[in-house]
Amino acid sequence: MMPDILESGQWQMLSLVDDGAIRISLVSAVAARLEVTGTSGPPKYLGPAHDVVAFPTGAVGDRGPVGVRVRSAAGEPFPGDGTIDLAVDSTGGGHSFLLKRVPVAGRISAPVLQLSRREGGIIARPGEGGGATTGLGGWCAKRRAEQGRPLRPTVTDVVIDTSSSMRRFAPRVEALTRFLNDLYVTAEVAGPTIHRAVIAGARNDGVGCVEAGPGGGADGGRRIVVTDLPLPPGQGECLVVGAADLSTALPGDAYTPPPEVWEELARTDAAFTRGTLEALAPLLDWLSPSSSRNGAD
């Protein structure tokens, strides 16, 4: 029987027959090996390369998932476009699967599969319990945590400029808020409160300047304004979605993400790489100043 071929990011759960053994095979352009943890007994690695592993379905217990990782044999991070393929077979029958282009870029050891017991069978999920469908913000939070630099975002209130000049930047604002929501959830930090500013009495397309509003953010956090022009000095922090040269030309406490940040925030795929994390580093450090200092090398 031909295996079901699934692309990374296009599946959330697979069902395996709870009978016989599970066999997992690795295909990688870079020398790598499989590592399995959490089984009730030692798994059996086939061949000196450890690129094939098998264990009985009974080794998947009730107390926690079985984790499958791929580790670079050289001990160096996988390249920026690094992906691997996994073939998952159940000898007891049922479907077999070929999981294509699982991302491992920028990591020495990457979780690629989780197996857990469910009544009537065994289910497989992406390596981080759903990691293949994690949004960009959550992916960044996990990668920073692995580096020993966990994100602790300090922004608690976001004021969005709704003036008419902001209309053309609506896709950037939407991408930013989506990124923030996913980032905060994964970092296990209470999400920021989003305020839509009223400009000259209008809730949308008003004409005039946005104001940060009185006081700072909730619980001593930061209140920022998302706008297309820097606020005047002394009127608060802002994230400028317009041209980067405006922030350098005009005074004020403004951060303008470079174009590559907006390119990453706008992407719709999930094949994030080490380059993705590097491109977003200025934004992450601005949102979480402590993480840019702690563990910096």
Q: Provide the token pair at 209.
A: 């300047």
pLDDT digits (tens), the chain, 297 positions: 678 899 887 788 888 888 889 999 999 999 999 999 999 999 999 988 999 999 999 999 887 889 999 999 988 878 767 789 999 998 777 678 999 989 887 778 888 999 998 877 899 998 864 444 457 898 899 888 888 899 999 999 999 888 888 889 999 999 999 999 989 988 888 889 988 877 755 566 556 577 666 566 667 789 999 998 888 888 888 999 987 666 565 556 789 999 999 999 998 876 677 888 999 999 999 999 976 555 443
**Residue type for position 7:** E
Instruction: Express each pLDDT in 243-262 by its tens digit.
Output: 766 656 555 678 999 999 99
pLDDT of residue 110: 85
3-state secondary structure of 199: strand
Instruction: Express each pLDDT in 63-99 by its tens digit.
Output: 788 999 999 998 887 876 778 999 999 877 767 899 9
- Minimal CA–CA distance to 26: which of 93, 67, 87, 90? 87
pLDDT of residue 23: 95
pLDDT of residue 77: 77
Q: pTM score, two decimals?
A: 0.59
Distance CA 41, CA 185 (A): 35
Distance CA 128, CA 165 (A): 41
Yes or no: say if 242 and 47 are a contact pair by the CB < 8 Å rule: no
Q: Which residues contact 174 (CB under 8 A, 6 or more apart)?
A: none
Distance CA 88, CA 114 (A): 12
pLDDT of residue 297: 38
237: left (phi over 0), alpha (psi -120 to 50) or beta: beta
pLDDT of residue 54: 96
CA angle 127, 130, 131 (to 5 degrees): 60
Chain position carrying tokens 């922090």: 237
Residue 92 DSSP one-character state? T
pLDDT of residue 213: 64
pLDDT of residue 243: 74
Dihedral angle computed from the Cα positions of residues 14, 18, 20 and 22, in that order, rounded to the nearest 10 degrees: 30
pLDDT of residue 132: 41
Dihedral angle computed from the Cα positions of residues 173, 174, 175 and 178, in that order, rounded to the nearest 10 degrees: 120
- Determine what percent of the chain falls in helix, strand and coil, rounding each to the nearest 5: 25, 30, 45
The dihedral sign for the CA sequence 76, 77, 81, 82 = positive
pLDDT of residue 151: 94
Q: Provide the token pair at 2.
A: 């031909």
